Amino acid sequence: MLLFPILLAQHALAQTVVNDQPPANDSATEPYWPRYPDGTSEADFMMNTNSSDADLSGESRIARWIVTASNAFRAQFGCQPVTWNETAARIAQDHVNTCLWEHWGSDNLAQLSFSDEGGRFDVNPMIEMWAEEWDYYPFRHPEAQAASHFSAMIWNASNTLGCAWNVNCANTTDFPSMTYFVCNYWPVGNMATQPPGELYAINVPNWTKWTPEQVPDVPYTAAPSLPVRTATITGSGVAPSVRQSAAGQGNGETALNSAGCTRFSIWVLLTALAVAASC
């Protein structure tokens, strides 16, 4: 007599749908990185171990969240959604396995350190620090060609991404636990042109809630002169080979720094106090 109720309970459990959608934030007054879905917490998105095959293939909850949250963020600027790119993720894994703080092509890098050797992080802080760079992006001046993590994240023509992480990179005796996190976006964004800004104007739009008068007028440095070459956006939907494009900006196949210009890259290092390890 108990068999039927047990089967019903098992069927109901199998039909349970995991909420992976971020909560709405219609009252937002500025761009924001989405919060975790209602009913979840940081514990559901912890990077306790190095990225696994399920992560790299885009099947894990963390990988799915990266795509979902990225699309929610990109939608705030009217940009097309992204899908997971396993090739890009596996290149990112090769990168983080080195534990070297250096760019491999057009990647976004982040690292967070803990004073507790066993300290671990959830995924949101890694990407949110990039998203917050919108605050000093010169939206009114695409000619500045202000390459950043933020502009790479929302570059409209970049419609795939892949990420990986390594939680076993040693840091210092004060902060012995470091998580190294990398995302690759493809086709590559942050493309410089001559005249400057033609691609930035169409690939890094304003936040959709701003009126023209509300767009921040951020001070900027004029982009340096480049050889007369027009960048073209191409791509087959697979990730570039390692070191194919320079970090920050590129003008077609030639990296910006190879034209005698300064490569724009922002390195972010956040440290967490020991008390954070118990949170």
pLDDT score for 7: 46
pLDDT score for 168: 85
Contact yes or no for 113/270 (Cβ under 8 A)? yes
pLDDT score for 214: 93
d(CA 41, CA 91): 29
Q: What 3-state class would DSSP assign to 114?
A: strand
pLDDT score for 100: 81
**Which stretch of DSSP H or E encloses residue 199?**
helix 198-203
CA 266 to chain centre: 13
d(CA 270, CA 277): 14
pLDDT score for 226: 46
Using 70 as the pLDDT threshold, list the residues of the chain that sit under it. 1-17, 106, 109, 111-118, 171-176, 222-279
pLDDT score for 151: 95
Amino acid identity for residue 60 in this structure: S
HEC states along 62-108? HHHHHHHHHHHHHHCCCCCCCEECHHHHHHHHHHHHCCCCCCCCCEE
In eight-state DSSP terms, residue 154 is: H
Find all residues with CB under 8 Å of 103, minimum gap 6, and list them: 109, 246, 247, 248, 265
Q: What 3-state class would DSSP assign to 181?
A: strand
Question: pTM higher than 0.85, yes or no?
Answer: no
pLDDT score for 203: 97
At 2, list the tokens: 């108990």
Amino acid identity for residue 264 in this structure: F
